[in-house]
Amino acid sequence: MTTTDTEPKTITITVNGTPEPTSARTLQAWVDARGVLPAALATAVNGNFVPRSLRAQQLLAEGDTILTFQPIEGG
């Protein structure tokens, strides 16, 4: 079996301290694959907070670390 450019390559990232394989190439694709409401999840990649509006632009690479947490809502 050979790999072609059309097959998604799996990379390993660390999510909240746990290694996880993914074929997602952006943070938005990774969030979408989890099946959670984007507004219900705050994210950081490699220690840098990533706002929802920038998730589609945040590329993921082998070895990246994603932290997820509940967004803080104030009044």
Question: Do 56 and 26 form a contact (C-beta atoms < 8 A)?
Answer: yes
Instruction: Return all residues near 69 (Cβ < 8 A) that are at least 6 apart.
Output: 41, 42, 44
pLDDT at residue 4 above 70?
Answer: no
- Please state, in angstroms and rounded to a whole number, the distance separating the CA atoms of residues 11 and 21: 6
More confident residue, 73 or 58: 58
CATH code at 11-69: 3.10.20.30
* Tokens matching residue 69: 């947490």
pTM recorded for the entire structure? 0.83
Least trusted range by pLDDT, from 10-14, 47-51, 65-69, 70-74: 70-74
Locate the domains of the chain by residue range.
Answer: 11-69
**Could you please report the per-residue DSSP string of 7-54?**
SPPPEEEEETTEEEEE---BHHHHHHHHT--GGG-EEEETTEEE-GGG
Instruction: Share the mean pLDDT of the chain.
Output: 89
